[in-house]
Structure 1
Amino acid sequence: MPLTGKQRRALRAKGHHLDPVVIVGQSGVTEGILGATTQALNDHELIKVKIHEGPETRQEAAARMAQSTGAELVQLLGRTALLFRKREEDSEFDNL
């Protein structure tokens, strides 16, 4: 189910101080990038992704990453995307 505005606001506040854990280079969104993103989402639930110039626009790259990993695109600010995927068990975000 999509996130509400209140949930997005809370996630943006939690994600503000995070550092990017995945960096998309000039090759764009590759299988390796998607694998790294999936692993990071499994580990952290909420991650920042830095998107550099590539074959796709930053909006296309962020949307593709979110769709391919089953995550929600919380925010796209400049070249930084904030992605969220809640774990089924032992989630840090049970109150959302």
Structure 2
Amino acid sequence: MSLSNVQKKQYRLIGHALNPVVMIAGNGLTEAVLTEIDRALEDHELIKVRFSIMDREVRSDLIAETSKIMKCEIVQTIGKVALFYRKALEPNPKLSNLLR
């Protein structure tokens, strides 16, 4: 499910106006956080997640682990914010950030 460069560019343009929907801090990837990310990806398809962790190495590992667990693509990372994409099973035009 690899995204092409054209798709990534388009998703980055859309993602620029988005606000983070989930924030991950000291507790890391808890079950509640993963559930919320899964729900947000299913509803919106393209979401921003803020990783409020100071250590860059740990933060990049958490971003990669989130992508692996949620089976989603990392579109972009800037600082502490990551942009994730996963195609919804049944996209809702009222909720999807891609169909609005």
TM-score bracket for this pair, using the shorter chain length? 0.7 to 0.9
TM-score when scaled to structure 2?
A: 0.84
Question: Which residue pairs with 1:70 in the alignment?
Answer: 71
Distance 2:54 2:61 in 1: 11
Residue aligned with 1:36, SS: helix
Greater RCO, CA 8 A, separation 6+: 2
Alignment-mate amino acid for residue 23 of structure 1: M
Contact residue 42 and residue 89 of structure 2 kept, 8 A: no
Residue aligned with 2:91, SS: coil
Distance 1:18 1:49 in 2: 10
Q: CA deviation at 1:54?
A: 6.8
> Superposed, which structure 2 residues align to 1:42-57 within 5 Å?
42-53=42-53, 57=58
Question: Which residue pairs with 2:82 in the alignment?
Answer: 81
Unaligned stretches of 5+ residues in structure 1: none
Distance 1:10 1:71 in 2: 17
TM-score when scaled to structure 1?
A: 0.87
Distance 1:90 1:21 in 2: 18
Alignment-mate amino acid for residue 62 of structure 2: A
Residue aligned with 2:75, SS: strand
**Cα RMSD, aligned residues only:** 1.9
Identical counterparts, % of pairs: 37
Give the paired residue count.
94
Alignment-mate amino acid for residue 84 of structure 2: L
Contact residue 75 and residue 85 of structure 2 kept, 8 A: yes
Residue aligned with 2:50, SS: strand
